[in-house]
């Protein structure tokens, strides 16, 4: 899905997602539906806009509120990446993606 298509979809559905990264150490995310997987090096979140993978070192989930759709992640954050749900399912599931 292109950026323009995603913007149009967000405008129609009213989906808003905010990501605030402070000094690559504290990450606040809204629009989170579920935490699919986490350890001290990777966190995979299901969000309103697709799967969000967070990679780094000494990562921990400091705050998790699925009622308000908010997650706070602390640690040395090195990478943030979105992917589509169907992309991971076609590649054999998210566990295969993690351990590649």
Domains of the chain: 3-85 (2.60.40.2000)
Query: What pLDDT score was predicted for residue 3?
Result: 61
Strand bridging mode 70-83 / 32-38: unpaired
Say what the pTM is.
0.74
Query: What pLDDT score was predicted for residue 49?
Result: 87
**What is the tens place of the pLDDT at every residue in 42-99?**
999 999 889 999 999 999 999 999 888 999 999 999 999 998 765 545 445 555 555 5
Query: What pLDDT score was predicted for residue 84?
Result: 77
Beta strands in 1-100 (DSSP E): 19-22, 26-30, 32-38, 42-47, 50-65, 70-83
């Amino acid at each position: 899905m292109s950026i323009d298509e995603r913007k149009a979809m967000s405008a129609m559905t009213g989906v808003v997602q905010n990501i605030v990264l402070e000094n690559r150490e504290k990450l606040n995310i809204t629009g989170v539906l579920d935490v699919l997987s986490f350890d001290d090096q990777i966190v995979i979140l299901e969000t309103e806009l697709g799967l969000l993978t967070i990679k780094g070192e000494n990562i921990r989930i400091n705050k998790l509120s699925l009622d308000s759709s908010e997650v706070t992640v602390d640690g040395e954050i090195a990478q943030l990446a979105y992917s589509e749900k169907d992309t991971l399912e076609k590649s054999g599931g998210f566990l295969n993606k993690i351990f590649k």
